[in-house]
Structure 1
């Protein structure tokens, strides 16, 4: 009959507690154990003081440096936060090495354990910075810290047996607490490695000028999905979880999610279609309803459109497929703008057209090789109506402002050449029979 895992774990805990009480009693008596504890307390106080002193020195030193990248500044911040542990690990390690050569090895046993533990904690804290997701990073960090502590206290086997005994059985499928914890830690580490590979590959793809922006986004998304998918399945397989037992359950969940997430799936498929047919790509200037702006990013579910007033609209990909979208820079960046104006009947239309074209050509952003044109479009009630057409190549710079500049150039030019811009005038005549009482003619 196999021993009860819970009983084995409780026996280990009781032994650990008993050993702790025994060590506490031994510390009350003068001896090397008490001396080691006093040394560790003194080192902790010295490390705390050095933490503040060296932290202020590093902060002042960094402020005198310019041009540092973000990852360098983040690394300095992480080092500054953990200076106390770094000092403690360094000082205790030196003391341990000195005592190993001066005193008996057993007289530096506690110092060696603390030096090793703190050194491992510091290394884990820096290594887990590779995990980008903050909750996952904390989970991996604490998991590795706890495992390292239990390992150096020689209670890993007992704790593992106890956690493995806390399991869920569904037919032939078995899922224990130990398996879940191990899977989360392993998957978190593999995700960190996958993120490094995907970012390196994505940077290489973005530097390739032969690939269009839309295909770059599609390739980057595909690489990220592939790497993260491989990391997940490798992590699950590494801890021995059999996914075949979850096939039926996952199928039922998939059907339910399919009905509940129709819009999400539609946006995902629409995003893939947009990236493949290249109808919209990052940097394009589009109009969708009352929204006018340029595409900043193309996501899996939505497109980010930034307008001239700084507002960022998250437009679902499905709307970009099914709605009427005006892409001002689909095939090229040339955009023709039209403005309307009128002049008095007494002004020569030939002169007005010539002056209007010259005024538009003198405005910045108006293209000269696509010369502006001006035509008469009608004879109004009080003016001769014209249309002025001109081309620009940078719609991202705005449309309203360039129209305003052209109108202002027309105003200055017409004022300089005595061309009048009429406005409707009304003459009111009051007949004698309609005059109110007391009003003279």
Structure 2
């Protein structure tokens, strides 16, 4: 601990001496001081230009139609950093002009400020590609600090100081410099993995030759490979010996055997579902009381959206071990049956013809080779019983509503033709003799 404090005091002392020496150079009249005044003037001019240009840029940005999202986001980032953008432009302009009309030693400070501001602007714009806010802050501040120290000529001293802040665990030497480097590397690799997985996902989903289930499986495999590579490269950068994870993997295996059976079962069931293509996004399924269409295939569950807008997260294992009705497994054709009865006095030939015509006139009901049909199923106590069968190709549009429309069409058509729907009728007769006496009593 004493050695660490001594190193920290020595480093702070070095920074303080350097700062004093640099500040003292600007107190002496000369070109160093003139360059400082020029930079302050450029800074004031940049803020003035931002005040004038920001409203006009806002009006121009709102008129952009058809731009992609990344272009609009870049425009927003530039608008938020207009002062820095103008400072970079003005500083480089002044620096290049002074390089031509005067001695280079009289503009080196302006060139340093222009370079540093350009680096800050570039890092700020590139860091916006990182979607995670924490990783974005780590990456941006790390690069800003490093580039500032590098251009100040303190990179070697700062690196040596961070390297001295270390702990030794066996053969592992873990310093603050290694940790910071690993954090930046993790941020860069995670950003690259995320962008790579998103690009691969878009390319795979645009390929119509790949089935939806295989598209999901391919995207998952790409994500596992990319993020697995990030994990391995990140720990190798720190200096961990990955062979030691063999013991850890054995312990994890024991833990899985006891406590994570369901999780692993769902993961394996998800892979099986993707491989055998039994269900895929967009399929309409029934599982128990749940009827809906598959919205997403996850690693642990399947998202099923019902007609009432509820989203059910069904574990993958249930889809493997339970009986699932897939209404659109091999094709989108779905046959529906409607049962009804008419009075014995109605002509069954007329009933069948009217029922078929009524069903065919309902939207969503198919005609042609899969036209509606109607058959007599039996002679009941109070009615002649029929079944009306028709086909649809959009089960995602609902089954109950199309049945309701067909029933309503039958009601209207039968009333127009004078066909009646019978209802059960019972007659109670009181016989003479003892029965009549009991009835009188």
Q: TM-score range by the shorter chain?
A: 0.7 to 0.9
2:375 maps to 375
Please give the alpha-carbon distance, in whole angstroms, between the structure 1 residues aligned to 2:257 and 2:139.
32
Stretches of structure 2 that go unaligned for 5 or more consecutive residues are: 429-437
Please give the alpha-carbon distance, in whole angstroms, between the structure 2 residues aligned to 1:381 and 1:388.
20
2:432 maps to none
Residues 38 and 424 of structure 1: is their aligned pair in 2 closer, same or farther, counting only changes over 3 Å? farther
2:269 maps to 270
1:179 maps to 178
**Pairing of 1:173-212 with structure 2 (within 5 A):** 173-212=172-211
- Return 199-208 or 288-297, whichever deviates more: 199-208
Please give the alpha-carbon distance, in whole angstroms, between the structure 2 residues aligned to 1:257 and 1:142.
40
Residues 419 and 205 of structure 1: is their aligned pair in 2 closer, same or farther, counting only changes over 3 Å? same
Please give the alpha-carbon distance, in whole angstroms, between the structure 2 residues aligned to 1:147 and 1:258.
47
Shift of 1:400: 1.9
Residues 324 and 389 of structure 1: is their aligned pair in 2 closer, same or farther, counting only changes over 3 Å? same
Shift of 1:135: 2.5
2:295 maps to 296
Residues 154 and 313 of structure 1: is their aligned pair in 2 closer, same or farther, counting only changes over 3 Å? farther
1:214 maps to 213
Residues 112 and 251 of structure 1: is their aligned pair in 2 closer, same or farther, counting only changes over 3 Å? farther
1:418 maps to 418
Contact 1:218 1:272 in 2 (8 A): yes
- Return 345-354 or 365-374, whichever deviates more: 345-354
Stretches of structure 1 that go unaligned for 5 or more consecutive residues are: 435-441
Residues 59 and 380 of structure 1: is their aligned pair in 2 closer, same or farther, counting only changes over 3 Å? farther
- Return 393-402 or 4-13, whichever deviates more: 4-13
Please give the alpha-carbon distance, in whole angstroms, between the structure 2 residues aligned to 1:257 and 1:136.
31
1:407 maps to 407
Please give the alpha-carbon distance, in whole angstroms, between the structure 1 residues aligned to 2:126 and 2:275.
38
- Return 224-233 or 86-95, whichever deviates more: 224-233
**Pairing of 1:273-422 with structure 2 (within 5 A):** 273-368=272-367, 369-379=369-379, 382-422=382-422
Residues 392 and 75 of structure 1: is their aligned pair in 2 closer, same or farther, counting only changes over 3 Å? same
- Give SS of 2:362's match: coil
Please give the alpha-carbon distance, in whole angstroms, between the structure 1 residues aligned to 2:192 and 2:86.
29
Shift of 1:40: 3.0
**Pairing of 1:16-165 with structure 2 (within 5 A):** 16-24=15-23, 27=26, 30-165=29-164
Shift of 1:119: 0.7
Please give the alpha-carbon distance, in whole angstroms, between the structure 1 residues aligned to 2:285 and 2:71.
38
Please give the alpha-carbon distance, in whole angstroms, between the structure 2 residues aligned to 1:260 and 1:114.
59
Contact 1:296 1:306 in 2 (8 A): yes
Shift of 1:342: 3.1
Please give the alpha-carbon distance, in whole angstroms, between the structure 2 residues aligned to 1:152 and 1:34.
20
Contact 1:343 1:385 in 2 (8 A): yes
Residues 306 and 27 of structure 1: is their aligned pair in 2 closer, same or farther, counting only changes over 3 Å? same
Please give the alpha-carbon distance, in whole angstroms, between the structure 2 residues aligned to 1:146 and 1:139.
11
RMSD, matched Cα:
3.2
Query: Could you give the per-residue CA deviations for residues 20-71 of structure 1, whole angstroms, max 9, x where no partner exists?
Result: 2454455556544444344333333332343344333233223223222222
Please give the alpha-carbon distance, in whole angstroms, between the structure 2 residues aligned to 1:140 and 1:259.
40
Query: Could you give the per-residue CA deviations for residues 348-402 of structure 1, whole angstroms, max 9, x where no partner exists?
Result: 2321121111111111221212122223345556544432111111112221221
Residues 168 and 255 of structure 1: is their aligned pair in 2 closer, same or farther, counting only changes over 3 Å? farther
Contact 2:43 2:87 in 1 (8 A): yes
Contact 2:333 2:393 in 1 (8 A): yes
Residues 41 and 324 of structure 1: is their aligned pair in 2 closer, same or farther, counting only changes over 3 Å? farther
- Give SS of 2:168's match: strand
2:433 maps to none
Contact 2:172 2:239 in 1 (8 A): no
- Give SS of 2:295's match: strand
Contact 1:8 1:158 in 2 (8 A): no
Please give the alpha-carbon distance, in whole angstroms, between the structure 2 residues aligned to 1:116 and 1:255.
56
1:437 maps to none
Please give the alpha-carbon distance, in whole angstroms, between the structure 1 residues aligned to 2:88 and 2:259.
53
Residues 129 and 338 of structure 1: is their aligned pair in 2 closer, same or farther, counting only changes over 3 Å? same
1:261 maps to 260
Residues 42 and 245 of structure 1: is their aligned pair in 2 closer, same or farther, counting only changes over 3 Å? farther
Contact 2:366 2:390 in 1 (8 A): yes
- Return 152-161 or 28-37, whichever deviates more: 28-37
Please give the alpha-carbon distance, in whole angstroms, between the structure 2 residues aligned to 1:402 and 1:105.
83
**TM-score where L is the length of structure 2:** 0.86
